[in-house]
């Protein structure tokens, strides 16, 4: 997320736009009773948005935009996510609940993405306002993922590789320098085209980092994986399972690739080790990941 979006008048205007797009014309409780922006004179869009399909399209756009703002590649940068919505949780929650009320689950994973996203946003704003989860509509609570099954290994891998490709930070975990307002382009690893570095020195460092511990101590506390080990595996994943905007398609194709042996157990271990040392992935996801990997290995080799 670009830091400029946090500069005050821009941030509040952007929140206002998102609220207006989620639920055009909704009356919400703005802090201090004053909306951060106003509709321009001669505003005609509301009548254009009157038809349900157009209205839905607006809500979907706002939902996806909010997802990119809140869960985009740079959320690890300080507490941007919290700072962006801070003070506006209540109006956002009202608009999210109103937009959710107009949507229905279709059973098509791609179409249902905004529906599920809105449910997740509502839950997190409800929690940050210290309001009881039981006050959320039942239909919304049913759309929330069960705590332990939020993410599967393929979805975590999808998120990790996708974020590495788009993050504007140096991939050397000891550096993490950000390419923000600086126009200098970071160089991308010529192999996997996923990791990027602020300098040749950082690329070299990441390549051999902790190499002496590998492959003996995968999934242990050996620290970040050397890129020399992970680069070929990432290349292999790119070549085997296309990384498109559709995370569910990736999840499905990745699962198939594992089942037919196109992605091997060793590949999985390398990918999981990489994520275990990731600084962005929350501990709860890491614990789930570790449990899933251990279960999988035990399941595959019950006598080992």
Rule CB under 5 A: is residue 209 a binding residue for Zn ion?
no
Binder to Zn ion among 60, 92, 117, 198 (CB under 5 A)?
Answer: 198
| Residue 157 Cβ vs Zn ion, minimum distance, rounded to whole Å | 15
Cβ proximity to Zn ion: between 15 and 192 the closer is: 192
Judged by CB under 5 A, which of 189, 237, 243, 271 binds Zn ion? Answer: 189
In the complex, least distance from residue 9 CB atom to Zn ion, rounded to whole angstroms: 33
Contacts 24+ apart (CB under 8 A), 276-282: 276/219, 277/173, 277/223, 277/224, 277/225, 278/160, 279/76, 279/173, 279/176, 280/75, 280/76, 280/163, 281/156, 281/160
Binding part of the chain for Zn ion, among 26-34, 85-93, 129-137, 164-172 by CB under 5 A, reads: 164-172
Cis peptide before 215 (omega within 30 of 0): yes
Does residue 169 bind Zn ion (CB under 5 A)? no
Distance CA 123, CA 141 (A): 8
**Is 188 near Zn ion (CB under 5 A)?**
no
With contacts defined by CB under 5 A, name the span among 15-23, 50-58, 96-104, 224-232 that binds Zn ion.
224-232
Do 128 and 121 meet the contact criterion of CB atoms below 8 Å apart? no
Buried b / exposed e over 76-97, threshold 16 CB at 10 Å, is: bbeebbeebbeebbbbbbbbbb
Q: Does 271 bind Zn ion (CB under 5 A)?
A: no
Q: From the CB of 159, what's the least distance to Zn ion, in Å? A: 18
Where along the sequence are the contacts to Zn ion (CB under 5 A)?
170, 172, 175, 177, 189, 191-192, 198, 202, 231
């Amino acid at each position: 997320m670009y830091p400029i979006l946090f500069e005050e008048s821009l941030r509040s205007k952007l929140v206002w736009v998102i609220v207006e797009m989620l639920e055009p014309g909704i009356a919400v409780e703005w802090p201090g009773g004053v909306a951060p922006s106003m509709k321009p004179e001669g505003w005609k869009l509301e009548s254009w948005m009157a038809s349900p399909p157009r209205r839905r399209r607006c809500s979907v756009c706002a939902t996806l935009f909010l997802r990119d703002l809140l869960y985009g590649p740079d959320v690890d940068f300080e507490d941007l996510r919290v700072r962006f919505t801070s003070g506006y949780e209540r109006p956002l929650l009202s608009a999210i609940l109103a937009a959710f009320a107009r949507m229905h689950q279709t059973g098509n994973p791609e179409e249902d993405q905004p529906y599920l996203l809105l449910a997740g946003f509502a839950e997190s704003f409800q929690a940050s306002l210290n309001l009881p989860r039981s006050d959320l509509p039942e239909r919304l609570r049913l759309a929330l993922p069960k705590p332990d099954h939020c993410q599967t290994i393929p979805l975590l891998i999808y998120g990790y590789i996708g974020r590495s490709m788009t993050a504007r930070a140096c991939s050397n975990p000891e550096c993490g320098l950000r390419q923000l307002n600086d126009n200098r382009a970071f160089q991308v690893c010529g192999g996997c085209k996923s990791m990027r570095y602020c300098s040749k020195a950082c690329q070299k460092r990441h390549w051999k980092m902790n190499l002496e511990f590998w492959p003996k101590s995968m999934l242990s506390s050996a620290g970040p994986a050397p890129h020399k080990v992970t680069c070929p595996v990432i290349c292999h994943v790119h070549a085997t399972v296309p990384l498109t905007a559709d995370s569910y398609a990736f999840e499905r194709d990745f699962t198939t690739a594992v089942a037919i042996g196109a992605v091997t157990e060793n590949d999985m271990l390398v990918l999981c080790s990489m994520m275990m040392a990731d600084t962005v992935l929350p501990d709860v996801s890491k614990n789930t990941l570790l449990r899933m990997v251990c279960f999988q290995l035990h399941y595959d080799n019950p006598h080992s």
